[in-house]
Chains A and B, each alone.
Chain A
């Protein structure tokens, strides 16, 4: 491992200033570090300066009515142990629990996962299904952008050099579910991930899949197949079939395209049936 300087800015301005003075090749941003340290160890990158976000005041969790804003550097474990997330946004809780192990979730962060933008992310699909938005801070201030617009290419989100993700907002708590499939059920990379959510205010459904190239996506025709309120069994079945058929899967060493399509059709059906009539549990925050 090549040596590097580790800096700990204490405010958003200090963090942005660190990036302003550096060159893109020479600097890396550290959130949880679960991917970054592997990259450095395997010499995929060799930063001379690592800017740690650890001491920024970004580890917050704020409910505003039924809307939730999550600081980007809050460890995933904090989301997992928050009972209101489990009750009000069960899909998010299931997706968080799908990431790595407890030990890893004590370090890994939601912001890090989004900026990493792995096609295999277990969190991107549920954020898509929840219509989440990302707060990007940079030299020109702060802007909010939908996760769908933030995700772009594999490992390349729409985030300019010098910008950071400060927070993620989930506009409303939704009946939701995240189902995944792996060769080994834990501590493995998913073969597929399916997130579904139903808007309690508007009644519409979102269906998003992960482990597709180049990034997790919503499958709009599958969402549109769910016309009735609540959708009929036939509608659920055809939406699930469409999700399997239309997901941009590929074959790799974790599984074939054919198997993935089959799995998504099964998991999407199960997930939709699980949320079709579910109401948010627990008192509204």
Chain B
């Protein structure tokens, strides 16, 4: 085990790196958004006169867009401003730019908006009063003798789980600085997980080709899914165009909550038929609040619904997923979108079934868990997958902890699976120079270390080069090779493969030039420069490179990775779009909780995580990633929730009443990796960005069930919610 000092660590500790909110440009203006005052209604008028009367202010509204946009937008479902109908509270309906932030905010307040309010759809709950939500997405799959197994079951357990909104809460808000260059390029620097994704969004929203747009990612102060697509960039660009000046636009923290892209409430009804101690059939009805989003609907239903079954063999299944449109902001991805919520339902259900059967819940899981070669609910073949082993370890840890368990404490085990996004493409270019190796690629480092440490580790392993001689260089969309972005836990698994290929090609070239076998090539430091070491003989890289290579940035190799998605049995699909998985990863977690039997409060006492992440490329980075995911999951499990009024207005857009965990609640965490089930990534690595959060709410809920015999059915498990569920209140 080595301790990885990240190459960005010192600069970040010194405050020397530039995040989106740090960047300024000479002569720039400050932007501010005018937000819809109501969740649903008609815009009667937007009067920009008073804002424009303030010296130096540029103000734009829906009526200005035809004049200002360089082309005709091709995505009518994502207008920059709504022309008539407001779809959610705080939807941007106008924007201003001014010489200072104070003046910009004053100008935004000076915009007079008249609206006619309509009743808003706030809830997907059938019992809610008011108008009913519209179905905007539907998926349906079925296979096996469902009616038969339910008819002949020993018993059927049916239950409903509910989850609430969670926000990403990146420390750094969305921030962009835009300018229109003299050559007609629309240029934006922005804090994003996906510069190429933002470019694609902008092309659709502005109606111009991607070649006319350049997106440069800044250092990112946390993304967690919230910075996966464009948010502030189109406003900054249109304001820059209207004012003729660079414009910087950053959301306030209140705006982060109001118009960020949260995970919204869901309702999960599970019904399992059990015979002879095994699950023989399951029906799932899953409803998810998609907010005002149309683009996210397919993903929400077709991807998420699979997580309600869990990584288990069930011979007969019916899955139905429904995305419902409400007047909330658009649904967005929050680290492993909706999987922790679905796993909460599915894994609580597993424990409940085991409880009914009177069997150990870990053994019950292992009776059903996917093994390599099994088929998923949609008939996709499971590849290398070590969850059974993770569960065995978790079960052993749970037994050990149980040896000395205080009163009102409980121990829970929860499992989860994920699919590394290795299907999405990425490319990388390597430059070997006399004194260093540069990796040029198109992903900003968002904090996890997967770019700055993970990609470097790949080159380090292939070329044997000391890590301090590797520079991971991020470039804008005009000069970097293409990459799909930081999402789906794909950086190491997918882009890492491109780096690995480029590094192997470089190694082969060095072998050729030094007349050595490829396997013997190692790059070491000699004096101040790099040398190729072959069997104890050192040849300076400077001598190996051709002169034109030294003059042109180094010896260059190129690697690409365009993965092949898995496939499933299309005959099982009755309606909608499902998505296959790639590279199965899994984890089993164990938690010990202390439950206050009178107050309903839960404290997590200790926690252990067992992950199949394929080959672990850098232990410290991987461990940090698991710890971070667990801490984030504590919030989803226990305290984080968006509170919506019946009118559809978020009541807690701030960190006082939206409660993320603080260090004080974080228990001791053990992290273990089960290696040997290799993925498609470099050396067999699998994704690890999202998997750690998935089992957390389920694990804690199962520990609560263990402590008191009753399992929670709604997230987050706040004291009051649990006290009511456990019927502790004297009414």
CB within 8 Å of B: which residues of A? 101, 181, 183-189, 191, 253-256, 258-259, 262-263, 265-266
Shortest Cβ distance from A269 into B: residue = B598
The answer to whether B599 and A181 touch across the interface, beta carbons within 8 angstroms, is: yes
Pair A185/B720 contact, Cβ less than 8 Å: no
The reply to whether B720 and A186 form a contact with Cβ atoms under 8 Å apart is no
Bound-state CA distance A191–B601 (Å) is 13
Contact A254 B657, CB 8 Å, known A186-B662, A262-B723 = yes
Residues of B375-424 at the interface with A, using a CB-CB cut-off of 8 Å, are none
Assess whether B639 is interfacial by the CB under 8 Å rule.
yes
CA distance A159 to B718 in the complex (A): 38
| Shortest Cβ-Cβ A-B pairs, 8 listed | A186-B664, A184-B659, A259-B720, A266-B598, A262-B729, A184-B639, A187-B662, A183-B718
Set of chain A residues within 8 Å of B652, measured between Cβ atoms: 253
**Set of chain B residues within 8 Å of A189, measured between Cβ atoms:** 656
CA gap between A29 and B651 in the complex, in Å: 31
CB contacts (< 8 Å) of B725 on chain A: these are none
Q: How many pairs of A and B residues are in contact by the CB < 8 Å rule?
A: 51
Please determine whether B664 and A181 come into contact, CB atoms closer than 8 angstroms.
Answer: no
Known contacts A184-B662, A258-B729, A259-B723; 10 further A-B pairs (Cβ under 8 A): A181-B599, A183-B659, A184-B665, A185-B601, A185-B664, A255-B720, A259-B720, A259-B724, A263-B599, A265-B730
Bound CA span A255–B723, Å? 12
Residues B426-450 near A (CB distance < 8 A): none
Residue B43 CB within 8 A of the other chain:
no
B295 located at the interface, meaning its Cβ lies under 8 Å from any Cβ of chain A in the complex? no
Q: How far is the CB of B109 from chain A (nearest CB, A)?
A: 11
- Report yes or no: B723 in contact with A181, Cβ–Cβ below 8 A: no
Tell me if B65 counts as interface (CB < 8 A to partner A): no
B643 at the interface (CB under 8 A from A): yes
The DSSP consensus for interface residues of chain A is loop
**Beyond A253-B652, A255-B720, A259-B720, is A184–B661 a contact (Cβ under 8 Å)?**
yes
Nearest-neighbor residue (CB-CB) of B718 within chain A: A183
Q: How far is the CA of A222 from the CA of B576 in the complex (A)?
A: 62
Q: Which of B654-685 contact A (CB under 8 A)?
A: 656-657, 659, 661-662, 664-665
Residue B466 interfacial (CB < 8 Å): no
Residue interface bits B705-731, CB-to-A below 8 A is 1, else 0 = 000000000000011100110001111
Cβ contact within 8 Å between B731 and A258: yes
Kindly state the separation between the CA atoms of A181 and B728 in the bound complex, as whole angstroms.
15
Q: Is B572 an interface residue when CB atoms closer than 8 A count as contact?
A: no
CB closest chain-B residue, reference A256: B720
- B720 to chain A: which residues have CB within 8 Å? 183, 191, 255-256, 259
Q: Are B651 and A253 in contact (CB under 8 A)?
A: yes
List chain A residues, Cβ under 8 A from B662: 101, 184, 186-187
B132 contacts the other chain (Cβ, under 8 Å)? no
28 A–B contacts from the bound complex (CB under 8 Å): A101-B662, A183-B639, A183-B659, A183-B718, A183-B720, A184-B659, A184-B662, A184-B665, A185-B665, A186-B664, A187-B662, A187-B664, A189-B656, A191-B720, A253-B652, A254-B657, A255-B720, A256-B720, A259-B719, A259-B720, A259-B723, A259-B724, A262-B723, A262-B728, A262-B729, A263-B599, A265-B730, A266-B599
Q: B638, B661, B662, B719: which has the most chain A beta carbons within 10 Å?
A: B719
Closest B residue to A267 using CB positions: B599
B603 within 8 A of A: yes
Contact A186 B665, beta carbon cutoff 8 Å: yes
Q: How far is the CB of B45 from chain A (nearest CB, A)?
A: 27
Our pick among A187, A253, A258, A262 for the contact of B657 (Cβ within 8 Å) is A253
Residues of A within 8 A of B730 (CB): 262, 265
B187 to chain A, nearest CB (A): 32
A263 and B728 alpha carbons, distance in the complex (Å):
10
A259–B651 Cα distance when bound, in Å, is: 20
A263 CA to B723 CA, complexed, in Å: 10
The listed residue with most B CB atoms (<10 A of its CB), out of A191, A254, A263, A266, is A263
Contact A181 B731, beta carbon cutoff 8 Å: no
Q: In the assembly, what is the distance between CA of A188 and CA of B638, in Å? A: 14
Flag if A181 contacts B719 (CB, 8 Å). Answer: yes
CB-CB under 8 A from A101, the residues of chain B are 662
B616-672 with Cβ < 8 A to chain A: 638-639, 643, 651-652, 656-657, 659, 661-662, 664-665
A263 to B601, CA, bound (A): 11
- Which residues of A have CB within 8 Å of B731? 258
Min CB distance, A85 to chain B, in Å?
22
* Interchain CA distance A113-B257 in the complex, whole Å: 29
| Interchain nearest-CB distance for A104 vs B (Å) | 12
* CA gap between A253 and B653 in the complex, in Å: 12
A189 to chain B: closest residue by CB? B656
Closest to A188 in B: B659
Indicate which residue in B598, B643, B719, B724 contacts A253 across the interface (CB closer than 8 Å): B643
Instruction: Give chain B residues whose Cβ lies under 8 Å from the Cβ of A254.
Output: 657
Question: Are A181 and B601 interface neighbours, CB within 8 A?
Answer: yes
CA distance A186 to B718 in the complex (A): 14
Q: Specify the chain A residue showing the minimal Cβ separation from B729.
A: A262
Rounded to whole angstroms, the CA-CA distance of A111 and B656 in the bound complex is 23
Contacts of A181 in B (CB 8 A): 599, 601, 719
Residues of A within 8 A of B719 (CB): 181, 183, 191, 259, 263
Q: Which residue of A lies closest to B728 (CB)?
A: A262
Q: Which residues of A contact B601 (CB under 8 A)?
A: 181, 185
Taking CB atoms, residues of chain A closer than 8 Å to B659 are: 183-184, 188
Q: Tell me the bound Cα distance from A256 to B719 in angstroms.
A: 12
Please indicate the chain B residues that have their CB under 8 angstroms from the CB of A186 in the complex: 662, 664-665
> With a CB–CB cut-off of 8 A, which chain B residues contact A265?
730
- By beta carbon, the residue of chain B nearest A265 is B730
Distance A266 CA – B718 CA, assembled complex (angstroms)? 17
Within the assembled complex, what's the spacing in Å between the Cα atoms of A181 and B600? 11
CB distance from A26 to the nearest CB of B (A): 20
Q: In the complex, which residues of chain A have a beta carbon less than 8 angstroms from the beta carbon of B724?
A: 259
CA distance A191 to B718 in the complex (A): 12
Q: Which chain A residue lies CB-closest to B724?
A: A259
Cβ-defined contact, A185 with B723, below 8 A? no
Contacts of B665 in A (CB 8 A): 184-186
User: In the bound complex, what is the Cα–Cα distance between A183 and B665 (angstroms)?
Assistant: 12
Establish whether residues B729 and A259, one from each chain, have CB atoms under 8 Å apart when the complex forms: yes
Name the B residues within 8 Å of A188 (CB-CB).
659
- Output the least CB separation between A52 and chain B (Å): 24
Q: Which residues of B contact A185 (CB under 8 A)?
A: 601, 603, 664-665
Quote the shortest CB–CB distance from B310 to chain A (angstroms).
29
For B651, list chain A residues within 8 Å (CB): 253
Q: Within 8 Å CB of A253, what residues of B?
A: 643, 651-652, 657
Please, how many angstroms separate the alpha-carbon atoms of A266 and B724 in the complex?
A: 15
With the chains together, A186 CA to B659 CA distance in Å? 10
A172 to chain B, nearest CB (A): 31
